[in-house]
Amino acid sequence: MIQPERIQVLRPGEPRHGRYVLYWMQSAVRSRHNQALDYAVSEANRLGLPVLVVFGLTPSYPGANARHYRYLLEGLRDAHEGLKARNLPLLIGLTGEHGPAEAALMLAPDAALMVTERAVLRHLREWREWLTGELEHCHPNLPLVQIESELVVPLQITSVKQEYAARTIRPRIHRALEKYLVADEAVEPAHALTDPPKPSDLNWLDPARLADPSALIASFGVEGVPAGVEQGGEVAAQAQLAVLLKRLDHYDADRNDPTVDGSSRLSAYLHYGHISALQVALAVQEHGGPGAPAFLEELIVRRELSFNLCWYNPHYDSFAVLPDWAQKTLREHQHDDHEHLYTRAELEAASTHDPYWNASQRQMMLTGRMHNYMRMYWGKKVLEWTPDPAEAHATLVYLNDKYEQDGRNPNSYAGIGWVFGLHDRPWTRRPIFGTVRYMNAGGLKRKFDIETYARKWNGENPVDTNLAETKLQAAKR
């Protein structure tokens, strides 16, 4: 049974007469360990109805590139197969200007109840608001509920306001963990929908096309960034969780060394909804060991701090998100002498004097990943090398969202904000940074073998921002 605190009613009312319970899958693209899906199945069983799952696929999603689309399509492929094994049909609608919610709206006429997941980012919330408004106009008796499917502790249970830092949100989360860090009971559907409708007002994707993501991406006309080297989808996500558990005992010691493959590598799977944070937390808790506390701190406290930020602060992806002290000190030092200044194009091409920074940028561009410790250094240097701190913030958002596999994520926006003083405190005053925390290459050299890292990722030629797929495959080999 889904805990009541995970349920938020967007449109109230009792389920009406209909052919099915409609689950609009968008943020939790998985067939198991999915609280929104479990709620839809439970309600359908109670009503004596089947479940229909729909996903809205937008070929011209703003800012998305081949890397993002491949990961997404691999997730849809696995979700389709997993749902099919449970007698749950998945329809994938190709949507337009109003985004993925269009697909859900097309299937609303025969729905008794509509279910989706809670989302915190601006555009995801706007889709839900648009759908709510359209339902009010076209289907005023259709209830719509959203289910907290991404967090261990429901967002509004943790706090009703933006929290200042990890130290303020941590005790709130820890007080609630005993109640919410519990496994959900899997519910199997009692009824099957054998003839799901496909309204002619929308184009519906043949699931067989998911077997060839490259061809599908090409049909979308997506260009600019290669497709990436990691496999997406819940099958790969579960395999990566198993890898994490095997090396969890060394996690605390290895996680901050980019020359050691000691990170969890679960961030992108969490971002695309290919794995449940609750499932991961329970598996790590059961495993235990010296690495478990450090990992759970990151997965629950730090990650849920970022969701808290994006829910309560509408400026989460701009310079305005920073606390007043950070904005003030950075503006006061904006005109300090800069030894090095670089344009966004030079930064994007990894053409700076700093081999360590260039290596981190190259790693991100080639693989869609950057080690978390290097992300901090990467961000601090962009602040140092940009004449305006607000411009530096915008540049980091641009590069992160374009190249990171887990870009456009609450964790990313909180991490970028941290570079400029968010969720931190004032430190010793320095040029350019003011009292915002400073980082330099000396710290890298003290913590790990940064020269090995730089040699691994730096080539003789500048990085081409339009790398071909053949180059990417060569990098994999």
The two three-digit tokens of residue 371, written as one number: 């080690």
Alpha helices in 139-232 (DSSP H): 155-158, 166-180, 213-220
Nearest to residue 280, comparing CAs of 296, 301, 268, 293? Answer: 296
| Cα(471)–Cα(274) distance, integer angstroms | 27
| Cα(22)–Cα(37) distance, integer angstroms | 10
Q: For the chain, which domains are there?
A: 1-149 (3.40.50.620), 150-186+234-312 (1.25.40.80), 319-471 (1.10.579.10)
The two three-digit tokens of residue 292, written as one number: 């478990």
| Amino acid type, 371 | H
Q: Which long-range contacts (CB under 8 A, 24 or more apart) does 357-362 make?
A: 357/381, 358/454, 358/457, 358/458, 359/453, 359/454, 359/456, 359/457, 359/458, 360/457, 361/399, 361/463, 362/457, 362/458, 362/459, 362/463
| Cα(296)–Cα(283) distance, integer angstroms | 10
CA 33 to chain CA centroid, Å, is: 17
- The answer to whether the pTM exceeds 0.75 is yes
| Cα(124)–Cα(197) distance, integer angstroms | 25
Q: For the chain, give the number of residues.
A: 477
**Tens place of pLDDT for every residue, the chain, 477 residues?**
899 999 999 999 999 999 999 999 999 999 999 999 999 999 999 999 999 999 999 998 877 889 999 999 999 999 999 999 999 999 999 998 899 999 999 999 999 999 999 999 999 999 999 999 999 999 999 999 999 999 999 999 999 999 999 999 999 999 999 999 999 888 999 999 999 999 999 999 999 999 999 899 999 988 767 656 689 999 999 999 999 999 999 998 888 899 887 889 999 999 999 999 999 999 999 999 999 999 999 999 999 999 999 999 999 999 999 999 999 999 999 999 999 999 999 999 999 999 999 999 999 999 999 998 999 999 999 999 999 999 999 999 999 999 999 999 999 999 999 999 999 999 999 999 999 999 999 999 998 999 999 999 997 544 444 443 333 333 333
